[in-house]
């Protein structure tokens, strides 16, 4: 096995400890405004913003640098309508037949149901796929590793980048979402991870009155 090539690491910039503390607090305050939105306006969003945020997501750490993700940006009204119809059909089955009562009770304060108008209202949907393996031109399969973890990290960076760009998002996860492969013509080695709804909030958008856990509940320092 050949040795990999390495380059000297060059940090973005050298900053003082006080600047580091300030940056971390600024980030905390700004990211604290991020909310999941279910009411979107049809206000246009420049595609360049979406592209930049996806490029940022593509910098995520991942298993063996295999980058096992695929992002599909959807703005076509016809395609969004197809996705909404398929998603609502799947969600109706989920709410009526699959979901245990315990899960429905957890969802009740969030006001969710099988109706998903935001899938058409928002200017963009980003379908995120996990690539379980790669198939080359000779049909040879190369397995990917830590796929869920890698795609999850990339998705988190994407959501954060979109938030800092001034946009709002909703992570939509109907299961199993196989309809996305058909509608978007994706190969079998790609599995839908989630559907990210992206745009501006509607003028009278509402969010659930919920709180996040306190620091001591989510972290222990040893």
DSSP letters, 63-117, are GGG---EEEEEE--HHHHHHHHHHHHHHHHHIIIIIS-HHHHHHHGGGT--S--T
Lookup result for tokens 């006001």: 111
Q: Examine residue 25 and state whether it is found in any structural domain, yes or no.
A: no
Q: Examine residue 83 and state whether it is found in any structural domain, yes or no.
A: yes
Report the distance separating Cα 194 and Cα 177, nearest Å.
8
Would you call 211 exposed, middle or buried from its count of C-beta atoms within 10 A (0-12, 13-18, 19+)? exposed
What pLDDT digit, counting tens, does each position of 153-182 carry?
A: 999 999 999 999 999 999 998 678 899 999
Q: What is the sign, positive or negative, of the torsion defined by CA atoms of 166, 113, 116, 128? A: positive
Instruction: List the domain range (segments joined by +) for residue 114.
Output: 38-201
What pLDDT digit, counting tens, does each position of 106-115 carry?
A: 777 777 777 8
- Quick one: pLDDT at residue 3? 61
Q: Examine residue 3 and state whether it is found in any structural domain, yes or no.
A: no
Q: What is the pTM of this model?
A: 0.92
**pLDDT tens-place values along the chain, 222 residues long:** 456 689 898 888 889 999 999 999 999 999 999 999 999 999 999 999 999 999 999 999 999 999 999 999 999 999 999 999 999 888 777 777 767 788 777 777 777 777 899 999 999 999 999 999 988 888 889 999 999 999 999 999 999 999 999 999 999 986 788 999 999 999 999 999 999 999 999 999 999 888 899 999 999 999
Structure tokens at 188: 């079998």
- Quick one: pLDDT at residue 197? 98
Q: Examine residue 181 and state whether it is found in any structural domain, yes or no.
A: yes
Side-chain half-sphere exposure of 8, counting CA atoms within 13 A: 1
Number of compact structural domains in the chain = 1
Q: Examine residue 69 and state whether it is found in any structural domain, yes or no.
A: yes
Q: Examine residue 135 and state whether it is found in any structural domain, yes or no.
A: yes
CB 180 within 8 A of CB 127: yes
Q: Examine residue 18 and state whether it is found in any structural domain, yes or no.
A: no
The domain that holds 172 is classified in CATH as 3.40.109.10
- Quick one: pLDDT at residue 16? 93
């Amino acid at each position: 096995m050949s040795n990999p090539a390495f380059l000297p690491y060059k940090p973005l910039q050298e900053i003082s400890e006080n600047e580091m503390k300030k940056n971390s607090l600024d980030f905390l305050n700004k990211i604290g405004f991020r909310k999941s939105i279910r009411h979107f306006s049809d206000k246009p969003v420049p595609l360049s913003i979406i592209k930049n945020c996806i490029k940022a997501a593509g910098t995520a750490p991942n298993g063996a640098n295999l980058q096992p993700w695929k992002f599909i940006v959807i703005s076509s009204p016809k395609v969004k309508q197809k996705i909404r119809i398929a998603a609502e059909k799947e969600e109706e089955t989920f709410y009526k037949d699959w979901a245990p009562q315990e899960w429905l009770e957890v969802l009740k304060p969030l006001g969710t149901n099988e109706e998903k108008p935001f899938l058409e209202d928002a200017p963009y949907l980003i379908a995120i796929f996990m690539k379980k393996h790669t198939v080359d031109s000779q049909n040879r399969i190369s397995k990917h590793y830590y796929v869920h973890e890698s795609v999850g990290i990339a998705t988190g960076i994407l959501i954060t980048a979109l938030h800092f760009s001034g946009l709002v998002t909703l992570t939509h996860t109907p299961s199993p979402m196989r309809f996305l492969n058909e509608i978007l013509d994706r190969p079998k080695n790609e599995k839908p991870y989630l559907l990210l709804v992206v745009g501006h909030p509607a003028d009278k958008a509402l969010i659930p009155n919920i709180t996040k856990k306190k620091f001591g509940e989510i972290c222990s320092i040893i």
